[in-house]
Structure 1
Amino acid sequence: MNIPGMSLETEEEASTWISDWMSQLPPELHTVPLFHLAIPGSHDSMSYDLDINSSIIEPDRLKRFSGIYCVRKTVHKWATTQEATVKTQLDAGVRYLDLRIARKPNDADPTRLYFYHGLYTCTDVETALKEVRDWAKEHPKEILILSLSHFRGLNEHLHTYLINFIKTLFGSSLVCRSGGPTLKSCWDQGRNVIVSYDYQANQHPELWGKIKYFYGDTMDPNEVESKLCHALEKERPSHRFFVCGLNLTLPSDTRTLKYVLRPCDNLGRVELRSLPKLLLWLKQQSRKTAVNIVASDMVTHDDFVSTVVDINLKHVTG
């Protein structure tokens, strides 16, 4: 990204800039609602941490094969959408995290929760969110959007526990639901964490509702582009957060064998082959329609973050 008036002379300066890119945006963007800024995000943000020794959660047809290592290994290969830790993703400029929550059956700890994508993660939810909290404290002008969803195996008691944990952990850093927060309004209040909780939590003003996630639901980048184009032109909300997901998705039927039986391939490699094309489409599409959060797999590759952040300059350059 080439911020007007900024000169990044060293690699270290460039790295420092990208880890605090929101605070480096031109003043003209400080009062633009966050709904109208282009914000880089990661899809299935915790999938770098999947536990190959856990039972299989999805797809359903493979659950009964959880005891077979080679099946778990295949699920692991095709469920891993990120290779960088959450801290590394945040340092790289990602500001939206897609966090899918699950409860392990028969866990000895009655309130311990994990993330999942095909398999459970090694790291539990409390540990990961504490790391996010610490990062947010070190970067008070960077606004983080945490999207918690799916909640496999959670009952009302666990929802109550998790919501209270989030409210206690982030405390006064939480941005309460409002008409249209901006960078400046968040900075003025000293708040920089937005939590979207995809469950009935309307009684908690500290939590935001579900954020609409548009995606192609296909492994074909051309179809992804076509479906996202339709969504951005016909369905995108104008006064709420929404996600444009560049991620590919395996078929839910036997067509998935076309991909998972490739001995030397995995989802990450397929995504990386498609990402340059999808980013080129994003640049072109953003000239026609507004984008908000843009999520991808393998977010530390192919200038993903800088490509998304660059879109914001249209507010400055017209």
Structure 2
Amino acid sequence: MNLRNSLLLALIYQINLVACSSSNTINSSWMADNKKALMTKKLTQVIIPGSHYSNAYSLDNTKGTLVVCVGETNPPLSNNAQIESMIEANPQQISNTDFVNYLNTQTNSVRSQLNNGIRYLEFNVCIQSANYYTSNYYLTDTLENNLNQISDFISSNEDEIILIDIDNIYTDYGSLSSNDLNIFHNYLQTKFGSYLMPKKDWQQLTFKDIWSSKHRIILLSSNSMLTKYYDIWDKSEVMDTPPEAEYNTIKKLTMIQQTIQKESVTANENKFRLLPIYSSFNPQRDSLSQLKSVSNDHLVIDYLRSLPANTSLNIIVTDNKYNRLLVDYSLQKNLGIVKPSSESQW
């Protein structure tokens, strides 16, 4: 890594350390606090609030500190790299600031998200200059910093269970080798140790079963080379195929309706079911001008609240300021907890 990139990433790291200092812990122990209600349930039988690209919360294009994840620009281009290509070809339609605002899928650090009740985290991993980072087209942080936040949270909240989706791993030198994956898996084991949950008999695990073990973290991936390990759960095996994420609020509402109708017929409580209600721009389908549009995703949460209590929902993933609304909805649905309207948003 050259000196400039090293200095830039050091600055990113320092900014994110400051962001991690949030003392907001309103829902930091919601699983532990409700053992009686959750004891006999499986993870697939409760609503688990999640955050989309959990690592992306402090990108700022005004300081000249953004570093591109080279792996995302290698063919096939990542979704966000495709958007950047569209912007370069049509600079009059949208500014880089609008793009960066879109890339900031979160407003708080991973630790703050966990403190506030999020229990499903999504990460892009970028291997660049032999170092591990998280990315969202730009490098957002060191992977080490994000994993440390998770470990620290579990250490302070020993009965909370976290699902981590590591679905995309990009490198600046091409395809991952078996040795790359061995090194990466060993790194994950070093960071999480006995917290990692093996995938044996996962369909039968209740909260009580999990709490009786030391395991608190489930690692998920659709990378077939990574899921050969005993503690990396294969999404194709443990999760129903999720619906395609949308950008427009109305399309999201339609997608939710269609998903619920489908699940009412084919629901499988022995598999995880993911509902993506975050804003996802599709370069093949959406117009660049949409990236400037104001989100009305509170309407999505309002719609979820209107659904019957027995509606089959599981992992719901959102972004930015709607995380708190999603957590509150999840707790209300799972536990009958209604948060006072005066509580601050995050």
Say whether the fold is shared (TM-score over 0.5): yes
Alignment match, 2:306: 284
For residues 7-66 of structure 1, what are the alpha-carbon distances to aligned partners after superposition, in whole Å with 9 as ceiling and x for unaligned? xxxxxxxx6551100011251321101111111110111111446422374333635959
Matched, 1:120 2:149: no
Could you tell me which amino acid in structure 2 is paired with residue 40 of structure 1?
A: P
Matched, 1:295 2:320: no
User: Is the Cα contact below 8 Å between 1:216 and 1:248 reproduced in 2?
Assistant: no
Matched, 1:256 2:287: yes
Alignment match, 2:161: 143
Alignment match, 2:195: 173
Could you tell me which amino acid in structure 2 is paired with residue 228 of structure 1?
A: I
CA distance in 2, matches of 1:49, 1:250: 20
CA distance in 2, matches of 1:62, 1:41: 26
Alignment match, 1:7: none
Q: Helix, strand or coil: the match of 1:40?
A: strand
Alignment match, 1:48: 57
User: Is the Cα contact below 8 Å between 1:32 and 1:183 reproduced in 2?
Assistant: yes
TM-superposed deviation, 1:253: 4.3
- 1:1-318 correspondence runs (5 A): 18-25=27-34, 27-50=36-59, 52=61, 53-55=66-68, 57=72, 58-60=80-82, 62-63=84-85, 65=88, 72-104=96-128, 107=129, 110=130, 112-121=131-140, 123-153=141-171, 155-156=176-177, 157-177=179-199, 178-200=202-224, 201-210=226-235, 211-212=239-240, 214-234=242-262, 237-253=268-284, 255-260=286-291, 262=292, 270-271=294-295, 274-285=296-307, 287-298=309-320, 303-313=325-335
| Structure 2 residues not aligned, in runs of 5+ | 1-23, 73-79, 337-346
TM-superposed deviation, 1:276: 1.8
Q: Over the residues paired in the alignment, what is the CA RMSD in angstroms?
A: 2.8
For residues 170-201 of structure 1, what are the alpha-carbon distances to aligned partners after superposition, in whole Å with 9 as ceiling and x for unaligned? 11111111223222111111221111122123
CA distance in 1, matches of 2:323, 2:232: 31
CA distance in 2, matches of 1:299, 1:183: 29
TM-superposed deviation, 1:127: 2.5
Could you tell me which amino acid in structure 2 is paired with residue 218 of structure 1?
A: E
TM-superposed deviation, 1:119: 2.0
| Structure 1 residues not aligned, in runs of 5+ | 1-14
Aligned length, in residue pairs: 284
Q: Give the TM-score of the pair, scaled to structure 2.
A: 0.73
For residues 73-130 of structure 1, what are the alpha-carbon distances to aligned partners after superposition, in whole Å with 9 as ceiling and x for unaligned? 34212211111110110110101001112233xx2xx2x1222223221x11122112
User: Is the Cα contact below 8 Å between 1:23 and 1:141 reproduced in 2?
Assistant: yes
CA distance in 2, matches of 1:254, 1:215: 16
% same residue: 20
Change (3 A) 1:256 1:76: same
Change (3 A) 1:299 1:238: farther
User: Is the Cα contact below 8 Å between 1:51 and 1:120 reproduced in 2?
Assistant: no
